[in-house]
A and B are shown apart, each in its own frame.
Chain A
Amino acid sequence: MTQQRKAVALISGGLDSLLAAKVILEQGIHVEGINFFTGFCVEGHTHAIRKRDKARPKRNNALWSAEQLGIKLHIIDIVEEYKDVLLNPKHGYGANMNPCLDCKIFMVHKALEWAQKNGFDFIITGEVIGQRPMSQRKETMPVVARESGAEDRLLRPLCAKNLPPTLPEREGWVDREKLYNFSGRNRKPQMALAKQFGFEDYASPAGGCCFLTDEAYSRKLIDLWKGRGNREYEMDDIMLLKVGRHIRPAPHYKLIVSREEGENNFLLGYRKQFIHLFTTSHPGPLALLDGEPSEADLELAARIVARYGKGRTAEQVTVEVHFPDGESRTLEVTPLLPHEVKEEWMV
């Protein structure tokens, strides 16, 4: 009796990983999915926070992919371990704070560990040569295989024919002839294959799934580290960078000002950890203050918060300032005028 071979597929929720897993499933291989949560994943968080996003249908695309494929999905929390990938990427960063190559190596390595522990034979990814400028190039494909430790147990079904045969192909576990030779940034072959498999409503093919590729997010992350004088971060920091206007009037403190009701409610959850300010004479945003402000700083912070409320044109606005120890005070301030909120304060 032939041994049932098993593959673990890295499922991001995007089209490529969905197709790669499907191609191998079609060859009679037992496939299970694995999805890694770094904390920087675009999905979920912001949808849940911002009220305007709540109107959109919300789903986790990795779970959706697994359901389309009829496979199990294992979601792994790698937030802590991922810090070293982000802080010390051997292969450097992409255009922003995205350590894409190190990230891919790390994830394939984690998948390999999982595969070894659970008796799986090889690993599948949806990588396509030339698809991504940093991690998916002809030169980097062997780097991922080698440095992850997966070596020739790493199979990329969508571009396998452009690469040397891997162990599953050489051993005849999968038929190389039924794999693909996709390359480059053209998405048409993937879309055609999706159509052939009957996949519709898949996640946007061009959509990035990591906040670290986002310029504005990366800028806020660098500012956070600079403001604190070190590059440590916790999950709450990652979350807060996704929310509100970030305004740093001075190096030693920063304001996070909510932009709408959903963000207001979200920031409220942090009121016991940060100094927080809100207007009481007029409707307005909630703001968290991260840092150690002087009295003058608090006054300026209150004027900034007032500037983003309904009382922005009023002469006087009442702002309450609450401290984590339970103390509070009330300030009467004149809202800053738009031009008084300096451009260089905006993170």
Chain B
Amino acid sequence: MGNFASFAPLRLCGEWDLFGINMKYELDARRLFCPMPVIRTQDRVAQLQPGDLLEVVASDPGVINDIPAWCRINGHRVVETREENGDIIVLIEVGSGE
């Protein structure tokens, strides 16, 4: 465990996907108003690997437009946008940044 932690400490806070290659992470951006959820998303994505998934949970409806726009211009993909218990959830697949 110690070796694993030192090898990939970032990945300890996510969960493995079915293939064990990429990771899924969650970002709580509730009670933040745009553009803060976008900034938090941007900063988090910068720490992830292409193919990783990031689920952003937000309360500002502005994210419905802003996060997909940010993804389009920065080379990431929105897998899903949905509302759940009053929160807005945007699932992003991290791109190569190209």
Which A residues are closer than 8 A to B by beta carbons? 35, 37, 41, 43-45, 47-49, 54, 58-60, 62-64, 66-67, 70-77, 239, 269
Contact = CB atoms under 8 A, between A and B. Distances in A.
Contact of B39 (A37, A48, A70): A37
A67 B74 contact: no
Q: Chain A at the B interface: mostly helix, strand, loop or mixed?
A: mixed
Contacts of A59: 65-66, 69
Q: Chain B at the A interface: mostly helix, strand, loop or mixed?
A: helix
Interface residues of B, number: 19
B50 interface: no
A67 B42 contact: no
Interface string B54-79: 00000011100110011011110000
B65 A48 contact: no
B33 interface: yes
A12 B92 CA distance: 25
A44 B62 contact: yes
A133 B79 CA distance: 46
B70 A63 contact: yes
B12 interface: no
B62 A75 contact: no
B34 A67 contact: no
A27 B29 CA distance: 39
B69 A63 contact: yes
A58 B36 contact: no
A270 to B, nearest CB: 10
